[in-house]
Every structure is written in C-alpha cells, then in structure tokens.
Chain A
Amino acid sequence: MTATIDSTASDVREPGAESTWRKARWMPLAVALGAMAILSLTRLLADNDDLTSSGTFGVALRVAAPIGLAGLSGLVAERSGTINIGLDGMMVMGTIFAGWWGWQYGPWMALLGGIIGGMAGGMVMSLATTTFGVNHIVAGVAINIIAPGTARFMAGELFTDVQGGSITTSPGNTGAIGAFTVPFLSGGDLFGWTSPDILGWLEDRGWFLIADVAALAKGLTTAVSWDVVLTIAIFFGIAYLLWHTPLGLRLRSAGERPAAADSLGVSVHTMRHIGMGLSGALAGMGGAVLVLFANRYQENQVAGRGFLGLATMIFGNWMPLGTAAGAGLFGYAQGITLRTNPGDLVSALILAAGISLLVMSIWMVVERRWQTMGFMSVFTAVTFWAFFAASEPNNQLVFVTPYVVTLIAVSVGAQRLRPPAEEGIPWFKGMQ
C-alpha cells in the first residue's frame, strides 16, 4: 500500500495536478448524477415510476441505516487498527438485547440495549485481539460463531414462555419510535400546520432527471424514523470525532503507525480497546435499528448485514461519506425488493445495471484499460444473461446485486483503495 501513497504524492507534484485533483473531487457527484440519469432513463423506458419514487428511496434509507451503521462500525475498528470480521456477531448481540429491552422498556431503550449488547461483543473481541494478540480474522470468526448461539440461548430463556414470543422471536416492542418529516420540502407539520410539499410537487411532474432527484430528496426527508435520523447524525459525529478531535487522531494513529503513536505517549492498547468498544456499540445499534424496523427480535434477522457493512466500508475506501454512499446503494438494491410488485422493479433494475455496466465497459475501451474492460464485459454479459434468462423476475438475483457490485468495485478500484497501514497486526510495546 505504500506504493499507492508514493504514487499519489508524485501525482500532486506534477504540473496540472491541480485540475486532476479537482476532477477527482467532483467525481462522486458526477457518478451519482450519471447513475440517476440511467435510472431515470430506465424508468421512462420500462414505464415504471416506482423505480425512482420517493417511497422507494424512503424504504432504501430505512434499509440502508443498519448496513451503514455496520459499515461505520467496521470503519472505526479498522481506523484504530483492528480488522473487525466479528461485527456481524456483534450485530446479532445487538438484536437480542434490543428485542429484550424493547419489549420490556420501549423503543428508545431497545436502542440503548442494542448498543450495550454490541459493545459487550466488541470488548470480548478486543480482549482477544488487543490484549492477547490473537489474529483478528480468527477472533472475528470465533465471535461470529459464538454470538448466534448466545442469542439463541438468551431468546430461549427470555421469550419462550411469554405470550407472542418464542425462541425465534421476541413478543414485540412496546410502543413505536415515531418519525419525522421535514416541513416545506416534503410537507411536514409545523406546529399543527401542514406545510406545502414542494418536492412532492416536483416528483409528480415526472420530468427526466429532475423528478427523480426530487423524489430522492423527498424520500430522504419524509417520515424518517427517529432512529434513522440518529444514524445520520452519528455518521457526522464519527467523522468529526475521527478527523477533528485529539482522540480521533490518537485512534487513527493506532491503526496507521502504532509504534509512532506509542513513542509519542499514546497508549495503543487503550486506543484499540476504545475503537473496538465504539465499533461494537455501532454494530449493536445497527442490530437495534433492525429490531425497530421489524418491531421485534427475530432469529437470523441480521442475515449477514455485518459483512455487507464491511463491504460498504471497503467500497467507501475507509471514509464515512463513501461508506454512507455504499450503504445507500445497497439499501436501494435491498429496499426495492420490499416494494409492492417487486418483480417488475427487479427486472427494471437489472436492466439499469446492465446499461450502466455497458456504459462503463465502453468508457474503459476509450481509456484503453483492457483488463478492467475484460472484467466489465464479463459482468455485463452475466447481467444481461440474468435479465433474459429468468423466466420470471427473480428476487434472488437482486439479493445478490450488492455483493456483485462490491466485488466489481473492489476489483476495479483495489489499487486505489487505501486501508489503514497497520490494521490487523497485533501490537505490543517495544514492537516497531
């Protein structure tokens, strides 16, 4: 990875580097707009408004929140030097505690319970990885095996003899957490007065691209559950913590260069424990958000979202904004299967994926990046095959989309990704 740093450093010194840097800065926005244009085009071609309706984006946000929290959990852990494969297990611990406290004390306590349950998992893993120096993948795998067993044991003890509960489900949360709609933009209430719904009006016009962007904005500002609002706030909070506070600098130094951090008097072990505690808490909160969405604990509720979170983190190059974008993408792919009449949407979405892959392949030909183009063409062919081969649109293929997208993103961008330099290496005092 040092090669990556050197090459970027030399790029900056080159004449004309200023403009490349500016281009890189606007790239994400351009890509997002391009993707929206393709979706908009598919919407018009397939005559399916639900592809980019505010309702779809709203569901996508709801589904993206736990994935994003999982990604943020992985980000905090890896920035502080621990590879947290065990965060999926920590999410499971979050769901069981959230299901229990949500049933006993209500939704806000469910959130707190999830945080505590996940944090407990994080601390156990940190004990193994930081204190005892166990290989991080090994410890993470162990946590992922332990957590579902512990959750099932607890569910058996807590929920089996209760009305509406069983070993696989909690009796349900007492009360709902409530939701929030932004006034003026999306017609939220302001002191009992219903404000106008500007974005909704734009969405209803159905203009190419404008209606779709309006729908996206409306989806993100309409009836957003309070736990999701909190999740968004936490994204900003973690970004601020890691890059704008002394503690954040110390946390990151434990992941980038622990020996240097130690020589400046930072306790690497304390930082890694804090990082893992925080990581566990975020993963557990992700589990709690799942419980709040389903309104109860269900066995296997996490369904690998921890791993999906790790994928968003890598997709986002270990940065909060990128992680959020990745989570949004995956949330959209999963959220669309939850809409009414998902079959048509799914085939439309696969068509959109095929179109965008085709565009990218052509672009790679223009750029003369043949190897990447080869990979792209294979994926394009597979996508179109899937679109035409399925006798009826198939949810399983959409379930797979986020993972395929991650695999593509990682295989295209692996050279540009920059994980924390010394993550995953156990560190003890005196090591270089």
Chain B
Amino acid sequence: MFERIWRGSLAPLAAAVAAIVISSIALLISGNNPIDAFREMWQTIDSTESVVLIINRAVPYYIAGVAVAIGFKMNLFNIGSNGQYILAALIAGWAGAEVSLPPPIHVAFVFLVAITVGGTWALIAAVLNVTRNVNVVISTIMLNYIAFGLVAFLLNEFLADDETAGLVKNTKQMPSSAQIPSLNRLIEILGFNLAPGVQLYGFLPFAILLGVGYYVLLNRSRFGYDLKMSGLNPDAARSAGVNPKKMVLITLFMSGAVAGMIGLPFLLADPNFQKYGDAFPVTIGFTGLGLALLGRNSPVGIAAAAIVWATIERATQRLAPIGIPQEIGRILQGSFLLVAVIAYEVVRRRNDAAVAAAAATATAKLHREPPPSSTPMAGAPA
C-alpha cells in the first residue's frame, strides 16, 4: 500500500522539484530573488482563510478534471469540456432563475438542466464520430468555439435580464431557494474561526460525491471495466463483446454531463455569482484538461492536482506588492505539468518494459527455453 503510494508520487515529486527549479531560473533571469518569492508564497497560504479559499477554488477545477478524465480513460479526448460547461452554465443559470421551486428540488432542477445540456452538447461530437467517423478531438474543438459564439448570441438576444442596464449582460439572479448553504458551521464545529466574509462554499460535498461515484463507476462496475478495456485495448474489448459505438456515445455523454456541472459551484454555492454573465469564469474546462493529465485520471490524483493548482494561484496573489511578478505562478503550473507528463511516460515505459521482461522470463521457464535476448517495446526511450 505505502509502497504503491510512494511509487505513484515519485514522478509528481520530481516534477514539482523541476518546476521550482525552472521558476527560480525564470525569477533569477528577470532579476528577482526566488527565496523571497517562495517565502512570501508560503506565508500567503499559511492561514485557515487561505485553506478555505483554496478549497473553494479547487472544487470547479476538480469537476473539470473528472469530466475529461472519463473520456481520457477510453482514449477519447474531450477537448470540448469548456464549451459544454459554459453552455450548460448559461442555460442552467437562466432556467434556474425562471422557475420557483422548494429549495432541494430547485437545486436538483438546476443540476438536471446543466447535466442535460452539457451531455447533449458532447453527444453531438459522439454522434458525428459514430455515424460519420469524425475525430472527436477535431469536433470538440470546433464545438468549443461554436459554444462560445452561441452563448454570446443567446445571452445577448434572448436570455439576458432586461433589468440590467448598460453593456453588462447577465441572466437573472437565481432565488435563494437555488442556493446551497455554506459549510461555515462545519468549520466552527471543527474548532476553526474564519474571518468575516470568508465562506467555505457548500458545493464541496457534491464534488466529493462525484469523485466517489467516478471511482465506483470505474473500478466496481461492468461499465467501468468495459470503459478501461476499450481504452487499453480496443480490439480486445470488441472481441469481448463491447460495442465500441455505444461506448463512445455513453462515455462522451457522461463526460459532457460532468462538464456541465463545472459551472454549478458558481451558480449554486458562490454568493458572488448565482447567475451567468460576462464576469463568469469561462476557461476552467481547459484547466481541467491539464488537471486530468496531472492526476493521471484517478479521482484522488485529480483532487491533489486541483488543490496544487489552486494553491499556486492563491500563493502568488500577494507577490505583486513586494515587486515579484504574480505570473510566476503560471510558469510554476506550466512547467510542473509538462515535466510531470514526461515523467509519467518515462515511468510507464520503464514499468511496461519490466513487466514485459518478467513475462518473457516466465514464459521461457514454462517452455524450458532460453529467454529471448530482447522483446519488442522493451527498449526504454533513447
């Protein structure tokens, strides 16, 4: 168990060290002191408020990561999660403000709308893939931009609240029955005190549930087994009776449905939003792609990645006053991601080679033949 955790975290740790080195070099080149920068970053995150803010920020990132991870597991690259979620957030935000329902049902209604819209938008790519053999990467990229245009069009023409004057366009504010209460009580019970105005948004339990659901689906269900098999070896999956077209349709729908939830923490739990509008964050889907890569598509890994991402963003927020560019955070994130992706691949190839060699030796013993001198695929990258 501990052995597994240790081996799994070796590559990310190496990537973290490399990212710190690369950012330090960038800071040195730009004439700043890296030690000052990292000390300030640590002091920024070293408080209960910071931890709460980091968790709030990490929740939508986490959902975004899980959304694309579902597709990644089957080698379906759903680059379009961004379009799926902004369209879902717009329509769910509008629909949520149009109806009046009792609190839990209202929240469930907004969930349902978001999931349906996100899933349906992803389904376009799935249908094009299944019927017309269109590459999913290509169609989801196109659908991203179509969604951007469509959202702007729908918001401007039909869904914006007429009450808001001027250039700012928003959907109507959702009533309080569509709000998930904050978890501040829980924090107080745990014995921490929060500064006034700081809230731990109530969406966290839903995100945790989503992670558990993803884990169960993947590792404890027939569908999850089919999904992983289709990703690892499509031919074997087909021979075993898995219908590849059906898998594409279901998987992309689920990926899109989860992507549809990315905007919900803002709509349902963040008192600063409760509506879709010009200020709504619109690039979290892209961030999710990186987080799924960083977390290797595992629910725990993506959670860790989302927290690291949010921590870096929080930590760099107070760098500007002491004269250090805040954008160093982007360099940290980017170099961390790139080195981690390379490190995972190197580790994976090493393991594959070791497994292949062990299998070759075992087979050779079985047949009482000398082991082959080398196996294809065993060559480590040059």
Contacts and interface: CB of A to CB of B under 8 A. Distances in A.
B279 interface: no
A314 B30 CA distance: 41
Contacts, number: 162
Given A153-B26, A394-B157, A396-B156, A371 B131 contact: yes
Given A146-B334, A157-B325, A410 B381 contact: no
B131 A133 contact: no
A150 interface: yes
**Could you tell me the dominant secondary structure of chain A's interface residues?**
helix
Contacts of B338: 124, 128, 139, 142-143, 146
A148 interface: yes
Contacts of B346: 132
A131 B145 contact: no
A132 B341 CA distance: 10
B52 to A, nearest CB: 25
Interface residues of B, number: 54
B138 A149 contact: no
Contacts of A146: 330, 334-335, 337-338
A390 B157 contact: yes
A233 interface: no
Interface string A146-178: 111110110011000000000100000000000
A430 interface: yes
B150 interface: yes
A314 B325 contact: no
B341 A410 contact: no
Nearest to A391: B157
A396 B152 contact: yes
Contacts of A30: none
A195 interface: no
A225 B79 CA distance: 35
Given A156-B327, A396-B149, A430-B379, A149 B334 contact: yes
B373 interface: no
Given A137-B137, A153-B26, A407-B142, A132 B342 contact: yes
Contact of A432 (B148, B287, B335, B376): B376
B265 interface: no
Interface string A109-121: 0000000000000
A415 to B, nearest CB: 6
Given A137-B77, A152-B330, A307-B145, A397 B342 contact: no
A149 B156 CA distance: 31
Contact of A141 (B79, B139, B157): B79
Given A400-B150, A429-B379, A410 B138 contact: yes
Nearest to A412: B132
Nearest to B29: A157
Nearest to A392: B157
A374 to B, nearest CB: 10
B290 A142 contact: yes
A144 interface: yes
Contacts of B132: 375, 410-412, 414-415
Instruction: Tell me which of B26, B128, B150, B341 has the highest count of chain A C-beta atoms within 10 A of its own C-beta.
Output: B341
B141 interface: yes
A407 B342 contact: no
A411 B157 contact: no
Given A142-B338, A396-B153, A431 B377 contact: yes
Contacts of B335: 146
B345 interface: yes
Contacts of B157: 389-391, 394
B249 interface: no
Interface in B334-360: 334-335, 337-338, 341-342, 345-346, 349
A407 B143 contact: yes
B331 A133 contact: no
Given A141-B79, A153-B330, A391-B157, A410 B290 contact: no
B236 interface: no
Interface string A198-239: 000000000000000000000000000000000000000000
Interface string A74-116: 0000000000010000000000000000000000000000000
Interface of A: 85, 124, 127-128, 131-135, 137-139, 141-150, 152-153, 156-157, 167, 269, 304, 307-308, 310-311, 314, 371, 375, 389-391, 394, 396-397, 399-400, 403-404, 406-407, 410-412, 414-415, 428-432
Enumerate the 5 nearest inter-chain pairs by beta-carbon distance, A residue then B residue, closest first: A149-B330, A146-B334, A400-B149, A153-B327, A396-B152
19 contacts: A85-B79, A132-B342, A132-B346, A142-B337, A143-B338, A152-B327, A152-B330, A156-B325, A311-B138, A396-B149, A397-B153, A399-B148, A400-B148, A403-B142, A407-B139, A410-B138, A410-B139, A411-B139, A412-B132
Interface of B: 26, 30, 77, 79, 128, 131-135, 137-139, 141-146, 148-150, 152-153, 156-157, 286-287, 289-290, 293, 325-331, 333-335, 337-338, 341-342, 345-346, 349, 374, 376-377, 379, 381-382
